[in-house]
Amino acid sequence: MIRKLLRVTMMLGLLAVVGGLGRTDVLRADQDDRDGKRPPQTLPSGFESTDKLLRDVDRAERAPLHSAWIVESSRFLNVPHRAFQPDVGDPAFVDLPVNVGIIKGPDGKLTLYDSGWKQLAYIFNWNTSCCWYGIRNQLHAIGLNPDDVVRIVLGHGHWDHAGQLSEFPDAVLYIQKEELKQIDFFLNYPVDFNGGHIRAVNTINPLTGAQVGPPQQACARSPVCGYPPQTVQEILGKVLHGKAKIVDGRHEIASGLVIHPAFRGHTYGSQLLQVNTGRGQLVFGSDTYSSWTGIRDWFVANIQQTDTIQQFLAYEKCYVLTSRQNSFNNCISAHEPTSYTAAYPITSNWWNIPGGNCSRAAELVLAPGETTHVPAHPDRTPPSQCVSVVPPHPITP
């Protein structure tokens, strides 16, 4: 009898152990954020579970369809490939477009995702960029009315993506609070043991204590680099004029138009834009999605303030949001070198913008009733045969 009791007790104990193991907390991002089950170092406002993302797909699929295009604000030329994608080195040098998304809603109003370049002097002085053309002119040239732009969603605040805000005084700006807070934090970061390489608007020589200028400052990867005062001023202008929404994490702008956080996917406050279209959900990613082939092949790209795992988690968000249709083909990249070619299929319906200084446009998808904006006889002169001019700017050599 005692033996029997012992046996039963042992069995029950074993069952309890096995049951307990089954309930062991595992860090998974596919459940709601109860009890802090987030990937490590993910901010609460930056976390979205797979379930939540799929619910956003459900909701968006019942929303109106949008049309979408991209235009090339400018192009970086001959960038060392490994500086852009450390795991990919062939070819050794690449040209990187700076793509801006244009989304047309059912009411005919336009939303821009990023706003391109403003600092023309840098195009001139770097002598490594081409093809800049003002965004208002680009919109006109592809048959859209710039006065219809009612929103600008900044994927992040770097100068090559957040310029030209003042060209749209009535448009409402959407930017993550996290993006602004991190710049503010690092502006005053102590320089005692890092020579200013973390703070970096400009830096200090650690041996002499003297501040040194570029190129020694190597500001490219530091947290404050990439945000000139002019860019931040334009954001302030929007705030003071009541034309800014400083969002904190996920935010539904309109039906079928949802912002998703991608914190540290490129910068601290990077954000994605989900758009409901006839070819499924498009996900615009700015520099978090710097390279579309990077998303496809799971390679990091354009590492600035990037936590590489956060960039992968942001890639995963695109895979989740596009899982019902077209998968990663619907992830829209800002700097994909194969943009405007068949190698990046969604951008293959491209053309040179008429009078657009070699900048290009691509029609991604049309909503029912929207007629194509691709000219009847599109100019598809290859980049190698297109001569770009330096636009007028106030700095003389």
Paired sense of beta strands 244-247 and 172-176, if any? parallel
Instruction: Single out the segment in contact with other proteins by CB under 8 A; choices: 30-38, 49-57, 206-214, 274-282.
Output: 206-214
- Residue among 219 and 275 whose Cβ is closer to other proteins: 219
Task: Confirm or reject binding of residue 209 to other proteins (CB under 8 A).
Answer: no
- Residue among 78 and 145 whose Cβ is closer to other proteins: 78
Output the smallest distance, CB 284 to other proteins, in A. Answer: 17
Output the smallest distance, CB 329 to other proteins, in A. Answer: 23
Task: Confirm or reject binding of residue 230 to other proteins (CB under 8 A).
Answer: yes
Report yes or no: 191 and 121 within 8 Å, Cβ to Cβ: no
Task: Confirm or reject binding of residue 384 to other proteins (CB under 8 A).
Answer: yes
- Residue among 79 and 320 whose Cβ is closer to other proteins: 79
Which run of H or of E encompasses 244?
Answer: strand 244-247
Cα separation, 392 vs 371, whole angstroms: 34
Instruction: Report the residue from 21, 27, 188, 376 that binds other proteins according to the rule CB under 8 A.
Output: 188
Q: Who's near 355: CB < 8 A, 6+ residues apart?
A: 137, 141
Which run of H or of E encompasses 312?
Answer: helix 308-321
**Which amino acid is located at 90 in the chain?**
D
Instruction: Report the residue from 124, 299, 312, 319 that binds other proteins according to the rule CB under 8 A.
Output: 124
Report the candidate in 182, 189, 257, 192 with the shortest Cα–Cα distance to residue 226: 182
214 class by beta-carbon count within 10 Å (0-12 exposed, 13-18 middle, 19+ buried): exposed
- Residue among 116 and 256 whose Cβ is closer to other proteins: 116
Bridge-partner residues for 272, per DSSP?
260
Instruction: Report the residue from 187, 254, 309, 367 that binds other proteins according to the rule CB under 8 A.
Output: 187
Report how many residues bind other proteins under the rule CB under 8 A: 78
Per-residue binding letters, 142-171, with other proteins (x by CB under 8 A): ----------------xxxx----------
Output the smallest distance, CB 316 to other proteins, in A. Answer: 24
- Residue among 7 and 241 whose Cβ is closer to other proteins: 241
Which run of H or of E encompasses 126?
Answer: helix 120-126
The interface with other proteins within residues 303-362 (CB under 8 A) comprises: 304, 337, 358
The interface with other proteins within residues 51-110 (CB under 8 A) comprises: 75-79, 90-96
Output the smallest distance, CB 377 to other proteins, in A. Answer: 21
The interface with other proteins within residues 20-59 (CB under 8 A) comprises: none
Q: Collapse the DSSP code of 108 into the 3-class scheme (helix H, G, I; strand E, B; otherwise coil) and give the result.
A: coil
Task: Confirm or reject binding of residue 391 to other proteins (CB under 8 A).
Answer: no
Bridge-partner residues for 261, per DSSP?
271
- Residue among 160 and 336 whose Cβ is closer to other proteins: 160
Whether residue 91 is preceded by a cis peptide bond, meaning omega within 30 degrees of 0, is: yes
Output the smallest distance, CB 195 to other proteins, in A. Answer: 13
Task: Confirm or reject binding of residue 125 to other proteins (CB under 8 A).
Answer: yes
Give the tokens for residue 112: 């821009």
Cα separation, 205 vs 213, whole angstroms: 10
- Residue among 66 and 360 whose Cβ is closer to other proteins: 360
Q: Collapse the DSSP code of 271 into the 3-class scheme (helix H, G, I; strand E, B; otherwise coil) and give the result.
A: strand
Task: Confirm or reject binding of residue 219 to other proteins (CB under 8 A).
Answer: yes
The interface with other proteins within residues 245-274 (CB under 8 A) comprises: 246
Cβ count within 10 A of residue 254:
17
Output the smallest distance, CB 138 to other proteins, in A. Answer: 16
Task: Confirm or reject binding of residue 365 to other proteins (CB under 8 A).
Answer: no
Cα separation, 68 vs 168, whole angstroms: 19
Instruction: Report the residue from 22, 40, 215, 368 that binds other proteins according to the rule CB under 8 A.
Output: 215
Handedness of CA 94, 316, 64, 278 (dihedral sign): positive
Q: Who's near 206: CB < 8 A, 6+ residues apart?
A: 193, 194, 195
Cα separation, 310 vs 301, whole angstroms: 12
Instruction: Report the residue from 108, 126, 297, 298 that binds other proteins according to the rule CB under 8 A.
Output: 126
